[in-house]
Every structure is written in structure tokens, then in C-alpha cells.
């Protein structure tokens, strides 16, 4: 007669290496297609975003200062930990509505993508650097450097693979980020922060918020300390707003639309280059 | 006045209830500051800042730069107050004084073997006289914590009185270095001794010892000031210094002052913040209030 009550998880957001609740104390309910409640997620506010931003800025110097090789190791470690928790993610993705087969394929693709970008960490510099011919007695070379702190606004239809495909190239290039997870897939996004937490990623490098895009998009694109914005939805109004806000202090804006994050075109080093600044050095040489 | 110029009778002092102090501080911190008041509070806090540079590597160039910042905190915002004072070592007082000519910003000098206070009384007084001669408007002295903790309260009283004498008309701030005083009871005692010995301001910390200013310590000092005022009618100033980095904390301090001492103390003559990074955060918040956009340190001068 005693039927057990389900313990539904309230997923926390992830700021500066800590799992916290939104300062607002507000929550959203996640339901599956048939309307059953799955979990609660935090409804983050601009103040949560501001805190995350401070953390991301604080972590930027340390992360970009790590050796490229070490960054690669850390990304690879994320893949390892994700592999170890495959079953959990497959379960969560199926709760969110994916078929078992699709869920499995998606988790595998996410792991592979982390490995892919882990490999690029210490290689994109060689590909994108150049030695430039100049007329004076200078050794002139250009190298990529991380842009800084990136706002990542994950789109609604993407799930784990979309999230990983957006975060990996950004951090592989030495940037830090504040991510707003899509509402529908907030569950797997929050679980992914547990993977981040247990895989040597320094605090503040990846911060993940959940909540309503409509409430946060303006702050995530106008904050003067943000250096770049990564956005993949297709709605024109949001894009216009982002571009206008970005013009305040000339942030880098990267739009990328896709129907299928599993597609191979999301595995290429040019996505890393999107979040790099090219620095050119003139070094005097005697003839 | 007969109570002045002699060591206070500690039997009259109410014992400090640490739990009560913490409770009151946390309750006052929960005050919500509405948007309209926030802007005024931010500007008020800015006008109370003592921009400080107390590094061994300070140069005249750095002090000049700081003085410029003191007069023009952020040029793109109109109607913004200048800060209250610039705080430097005695050897840079002249430089600061020259750079601030024509403004009403004071120059404060730390003296008496700052930050340790471990020197002979004569040499410490000598340093104060030197700083006063160089043109300092305010002297920040440190008490000898060693003597105080040994219970030699007369020594502490005498050193403050002697320093005040050397200062003449120049304002004297007494740094208690509360981070080394161990208990709130001691903070209260040191505050009372300093005020009775002639301090114009009492100040929490040098900024060289952690913890620096904390709100419980500040509350205890503010209450000492209040009791002294009731007894003598003299208004002593308060300066929390060190560790106050953001606007939110600064506003919480203003609430403490308002609730303990009243509106009279909410002006730069009686309340100061000793901080080097607070001013920029205040400026960033002021611009945020004006534009609605969160700001970045990239667009504000680093002193």
C-alpha cells in the first residue's frame, strides 16, 4: 500500500566551480512530452549571470596561461569522465524525449567531439600562425590568442551534443565561458556540469546557467566585460538584439545555424579560430 | 572637559556581546536599498573614499597619477564627486600636495612606523612632524599592538596623546589594526583609549594585515563613537580600511553608520573608506545605473 514518492531532482546552476541555486529563488519545472514532471531547474537572473561573469573573468588568465598541451589533457579528461557516465546521460536524454538508439548515438558523439577538440588544443596555433614577409629588417609573425570571455547561448533544439559542440572549441582556444543552457535540455546540461566538475577544469572556466533566454539574452550580450557571443538559434529578433548590444564595445559575434549537431562539419578547427584574436609581432633582426 | 585627556574607566563600558553584534550586522545587511537611493549612496561612498597607495615601490609618478584620479574619477560621467583624500607615505606627501593644488582633496600620510608601529616613540613622533611639515592634512598613526595586548593601556594612551600633540591642528586618525587585537572587547577598549587621548578619527586597519576591516569590528567602533558623543558631545570620525572591494559592501557600511550614529556621520568629514580598488567598483556601478549595462574594468583607469 505504501507507494514510494519519486524524489525529483532540483538541478543547480554551476558558477565558479560550485553548484549553487539561483539568487532569485525561482524555479522552472521541466516536463516530458506527455506533461509529466521530470525535474526542477533554476530560473537564473541577471545577477546570477553577473556572478558567473566575474568568475569567468577571474579564471581567464589562468586558463589561457596553461600550456596548450595541458588544456588538451583536461579536455580529454572530460571525455573520459563522460564515457564513464554514459548510462546516466543516455537515460536523461531519453527522459527528455530521445529514442534509446538516438540517445546512445548522441552521447557517443559528444564524447568523440571532446576528444576531437582535445587533440586540436596544441595544434591549431601552428595551422593558423604565419610568418609574414615585410620590407624592413623585421621578423614578422602572427599568432592566435584567445578572445577572452565568451557568452554561449545554447539553442533550444540542441541537446548534449549541441552544448558540447559549442563549449569545446571555445575552451580549447583558451577562452572561458558563461553558458545559458537551452530550457528543454537543461537536465543533461546540468549533469554535464558534474562532468566538468570532476575533470580538472579549473573553477570559473565553464559556468552554466539555466533559465529563460528572453530574460537573459540582453544582459548576456550587453555586459561590457564579455568579449564574444556564440549564438546558434535562427530567430532574427534575437540576432538583431545581440548585434546591437555587441556594438557597444565591439564584441565578436559568432552565429552558426545548424539542423544537425551530429554533422561532421561541426568538427573543424575553424570554430576555434572564430574565438581567437590574431596578434602580430615585429621583431627587429640584423641583416 | 574633565573626562577628556585621561584614560577612560573601563568599568563604565558595556561588555561586548559578540553574538549580538554579529546578529545586528547580519540584520542590517539585509536592508534592501532601492534604486533611487542606490545612486545617491554610490556617489556618497565615492566622495568618502581615501584613495590609497602604500607600497614600498610607490613612485612620485604613481602618486601624481593617483591624485589625478582623485580629482577626476571618471571623466565621461558628469556631476560625479571627487574623493575625500589621497593617502600616501610621508616621503610622497609633498608630491601629492603639489598635484592636488587648487582642489579640496586632503592629503593623508601614514606615520609612526606604519604598519608595525615598532619604533621608539621619539622617532615615531619625528616622522609625524616631518609629514606635517611636508604639508599633510591628516595623519594616520598606528598604535603599538604589542604594548596594548600586554595590557599597557597607559602606553597606548600616551602615544596617541603625544602624536596628537605633534599633529597640532592636523587631523589625527588612529589605526587600531583590529586584525591583531583578537577580540571585540579589545577593539572597544582601544577605540575608547584613542578617542579619550585626542583622536579625530579611529580607523580599523593598515590594510597590511588580514583580516582587515570587517563589519562587526566596525559596528563595535561605531558604538564606541556613539557613547563617546553622548558623554562629551564631540563627534569622532570612523574609517574602515582594507578589504572593502565592492559597492555592495560599501553600501552596507553606510547602513551601519546611519543606523548607529545617524545622518550627521554620513559625510566625508566623519566617515571615510580606506580602499584602493573600491573607487573603481563604485564608478562601474554608477555607470551601470546610468546606462543599464554591466561594466568592465577594461574601460576604467587603474589608478
> Between chains, do A249 and B295 touch, taking CB under 8 Å as contact?
no
Sign, CA torsion A100/A106/A110/A116: positive
Residue range A118-146: mean pLDDT, rounded: 96
β-pair partners for B201: B173, B237
* Chain A residues with CB-CB distance to B296 below 8 A: 223-225, 249
Q: Sketch the domain layout of chain A as residue ranges.
A: 10-132+144-278
Nearest residue in chain B measured CA to CA from A49: B294
Question: Grid coordinates standing for B101?
Answer: 593644488
> Chain B contact for A50, CB < 8 A?
yes
Question: In angstroms, how far is the first alpha carbon of chain B from the final one?
Answer: 44
Residues of B in Cβ contact (< 8 Å) with A249: 296, 299
- Residue in chain B closest to A226 (alpha carbons) equals B296
Q: Which three cell numbers stand for residue B165?
A: 600633540
Q: What mean pLDDT do residues A32-52 have? A: 91
Q: Which of B294, B296, B297 sits opposite A219 (nearest CB)?
A: B294
Query: Which DSSP symbol is given to A266?
Result: G
Model pLDDT, residue B1: 53
Query: Going residue by residue through chain B (303 aa), what tens digit of pLDDT does each one get?
Result: 556 778 888 887 778 999 999 999 999 999 889 988 999 999 999 999 999 999 999 999 999 999 999 999 998 888 899 999 999 999 999 999 999 999 999 999 999 999 999 999 999 999 999 999 999 999 999 999 999 999 999 999 999 999 999 999 999 999 999 999 999 999 999 999 999 999 999 999 998 998 999 999 999 999 999 999 999 999 999 999 998 999 999 999 999 999 999 999 999 999 999 988 899 999 999 999 999 899 998 899 886
pLDDT at B84: 95
Q: Catalytic pick from B140, B192, B227, B281?
A: B140
Contacts of B191 (CB under 8 A, 6+ apart): B176, B202, B220, B221, B224, B225
Chain B positions in Cβ-Cβ contact with residue A46 (cut-off 8 Å): 294
Cβ contacts of A122 within 8 Å, gap of 6 or more: A67, A68, A69, A71, A72
Q: What is the 3-state secondary structure (H, E, C) of chain B?
A: CCCCCCCCCHHHCCCCCHHHHHHHHHHHHCCCCCHHHHHHHHHHHHHCEEEECCCCCCCHHHHHHHHHHHHCCCCCCCCCCCCCEEEECHHHHHHHHHHCCCCCCEEEEEECCCCCCCCCHHHHHHHHHHHHHHCCCEEEEECCHHHHHCCCHHHHHHHHHHHHHHHCCCEEEEECCHHHCCCHHHHHHHHHHHHHCCCCEEECCCCCCCCCCCHHHHHHHHHHHHHHHHHHCCCCEEECECCCCCHHHHHHHHHHHHHHHCHHHCCCCCECEEECCHHHHHHHHHHHHHHCCCCCHHHCCCC
The CATH architecture of the domain made up of B10-299 is Alpha-Beta Barrel (3.20)
Cβ-Cβ contacts under 8 Å, A219 against chain B: 294
> What's the mean pLDDT in A73-102?
93
Residues A10-132+144-278: name the CATH superfamily: Aldehyde Dehydrogenase; Chain A, domain 1 (3.40.605.10)
The interface predicted TM-score of the complex, written ipTM, equals: 0.81
Average pLDDT value for residue range A256-279? 93
Are A223 and B296 an interchain contact pair (Cβ–Cβ within 8 Å)?
A: yes
The one catalytic residue in B192, B203, B227, B281 is B203
CA angle B200, B203, B204 (to 5 degrees): 160
Told to judge if B9 belongs to the known catalytic residues of this protein, a careful annotator would answer no
Quote the percentage of chain A above a pLDDT of 90: 79
Judge whether B158 counts as a catalytic residue.
no
> B227: how many CB neighbours lie within 10 A of its CB?
18
A248 vs B contacts (CB less than 8 Å): 293
User: Which position among B137, B192, B239, B281 bears the catalytic label?
Assistant: B239
Residue recorded with cell 560625479: B80
- A225 touching B, CB under 8 A? yes
Please tell me the predicted confidence (pLDDT) of residue A86: 95
Count how many pairs of residues, chain A against chain B, have C-beta atoms within 8 Å.
24
- Answer yes or no: do B299 and A222 touch at CB < 8 A: no
Distance of CA B68 to the CA centre of its chain: 21
The domain spans of chain B are: 10-299
pLDDT at residue B36 in the model: 86
Rounded to a whole number of angstroms, the distance from the CA of A70 to the nearest CA of chain B is 28
Q: Exposed, middle or buried by CB within 10 Å (0-12, 13-18, 19+), for A194? A: middle
User: Is B203 among the residues known to form the active site?
Assistant: yes
When scoring B293, B297, B299 by the number of chain A Cβ atoms within 10 A, the one with the most, hence best to mutate, is: B293
CB atoms under 10 Å from CB of A214, counted, come to 8
Please identify which residue in the block is written with the cell numbers 572597544: B188
* A184-to-A3, A29, A42, A189 alpha-carbon distances in Å: 29, 10, 13, 10
Enter the DSSP assignment of A153: E
pLDDT band at A1 (very low <50, low <70, confident <90, very high): low
Residue A247 at interface with chain B, using a CB cutoff of 8 Å: no
- Residue of A49, A224, A228, A244 to mutate, interface with B, max B Cβ within 10 Å: A224
| Residue A7 near chain B (CB below 8 Å) | no
A268 touches chain B (CB under 8 A): no
Q: Name the average pLDDT for chain A.
A: 93
Q: Do B294 and A225 touch (CB under 8 A)?
A: yes
Amino acid at each position: 500500500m505504501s507507494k514510494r514518492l519519486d524524489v525529483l531532482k532540483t538541478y543547480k546552476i554551476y558558477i565558479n566551480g560550485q553548484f549553487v541555486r539561483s539568487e532569485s529563488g525561482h524555479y522552472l519545472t521541466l516536463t516530458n512530452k506527455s506533461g509529466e514532471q521530470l525535474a526542477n531547474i533554476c530560473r537564473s537572473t541577471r545577477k546570477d549571470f553577473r556572478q558567473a561573469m566575474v568568475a569567468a573573468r577571474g579564471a581567464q588568465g589562468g586558463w589561457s596561461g596553461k600550456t596548450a598541451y595541458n588544456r588538451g589533457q583536461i579536455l580529454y579528461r572530460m571525455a573520459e569522465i563522460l564515457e564513464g557516465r554514459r548510462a546516466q546521460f543516455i537515460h536523461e536524454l531519453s527522459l527528455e524525449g530521445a529514442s534509446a538508439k538516438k540517445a546512445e548515438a548522441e552521447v557517443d558523439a559528444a564524447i568523440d567531439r571532446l576528444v576531437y577538440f582535445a587533440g586540436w588544443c596544441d595544434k591549431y596555433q601552428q595551422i593558423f600562425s604565419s610568418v609574414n614577409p615585410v620590407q624592413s629588417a623585421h621578423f614578422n609573425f602572427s599568432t592566435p590568442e584567445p578572445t577572452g570571455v565568451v557568452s554561449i547561448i545554447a539553442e533550444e533544439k540542441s541537446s548534449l551534443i549541441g552544448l558540447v559542440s559549442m563549449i569545446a572549441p571555445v575552451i580549447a582556444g583558451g577562452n572561458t565561458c558563461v553558458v545559458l543552457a537551452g530550457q528543454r535540455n537543461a537536465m543533461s546540461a546540468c549533469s554535464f556540469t558534474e562532468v566538468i566538475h570532476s575533470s580538472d577544469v579549473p573553477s570559473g572556466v565553464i559556468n552554466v546557467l539555466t533559465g529563460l533566454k528572453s530574460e537573459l539574452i540582453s544582459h548576456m550580450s550587453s555586459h561590457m566585460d564579455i568579449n564574444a557571443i556564440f549564438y546558434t538559434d535562427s530567430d532574427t529578433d534575437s540576432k538583431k538584439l545581440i548585434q546591437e548590444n555587441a556594438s557597444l564595445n565591439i564584441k565578436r559575434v559568432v552565429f552558426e545555424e545548424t539542423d544537425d549537431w551530429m554533422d561532421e562539419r561541426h568538427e573543424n578547427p575553424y570554430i576555434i579560430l572564430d574565438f581567437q584574436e590574431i596578434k602580430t609581432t615585429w621583431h627587429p633582426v640584423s641583416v | 572637559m574633565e573626562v577628556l585627556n585621561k584614560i577612560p574607566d573601563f568599568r563604565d563600558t558595556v561588555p561586548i556581546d559578540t553574538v549580538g553584534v554579529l546578529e545586528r550586522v547580519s540584520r542590517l545587511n539585509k536592508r534592501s536599498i532601492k534604486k533611487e537611493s542606490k545612486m545617491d549612496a554610490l556617489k556618497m561612498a565615492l566622495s568618502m573614499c581615501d584613495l590609497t597607495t602604500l607600497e614600498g615601490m610607490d613612485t612620485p609618478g604613481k602618486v601624481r597619477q593617483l591624485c589625478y584620479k582623485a580629482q577626476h574619477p571618471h571623466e565621461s560621467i558628469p556631476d560625479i564627486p571627487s574623493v575625500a583624500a589621497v593617502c600616501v607615505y610621508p616621503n610622497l606627501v609633498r608630491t601629492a600636495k603639489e598635484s592636488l593644488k587648487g582642489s579640496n582633496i586632503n592629503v593623508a600620510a601614514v606615520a609612526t612606523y606604519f604598519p608595525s608601529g615598532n619604533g621608539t616613540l621619539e622617532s615615531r613622533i619625528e616622522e609625524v612632524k616631518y609629514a606635517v611639515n611636508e604639508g599633510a592634512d591628516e595623519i594616520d598613526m598606528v598604535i603599538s599592538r604589542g604594548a596594548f595586548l600586554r595590557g599597557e593601556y597607559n602606553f597606548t594612551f600616551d602615544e596617541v596623546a603625544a602624536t596628537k600633540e605633534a599633529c597640532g591642528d592636523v587631523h589625527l586618525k588612529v589605526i587600531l589594526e583590529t586584525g591583531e587585537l583578537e577580540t571585540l572587547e579589545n577593539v572597544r577598549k582601544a577605540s575608547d583609549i584613542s578617542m579619550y587621548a585626542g583622536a579625530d578619527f579611529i580607523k580599523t586597519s593598515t590594510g597590511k594585515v588580514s583580516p582587515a576591516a570587517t563589519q562587526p569590528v566596525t559596528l563595535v567602533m561605531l558604538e564606541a563613537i556613539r557613547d563617546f558623543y553622548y558623554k562629551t558631545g564631540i563627534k569622532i570620525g570612523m574609517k574602515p580600511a582594507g578589504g572593502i572591494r565592492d559597492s555592495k559592501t560599501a553600501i552596507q557600511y553606510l547602513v551601519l553608520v546611519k543606523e548607529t550614529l545617524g545622518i550627521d556621520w554620513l559625510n566625508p568629514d566623519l566617515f571615510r573608506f580606506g580602499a584602493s580598488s573600491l573607487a573603481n567598483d563604485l564608478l562601474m556601478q554608477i555607470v551601470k545605473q546610468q546606462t543599464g549595462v554591466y561594466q568592465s574594468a577594461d574601460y576604467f583607469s587603474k589608478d
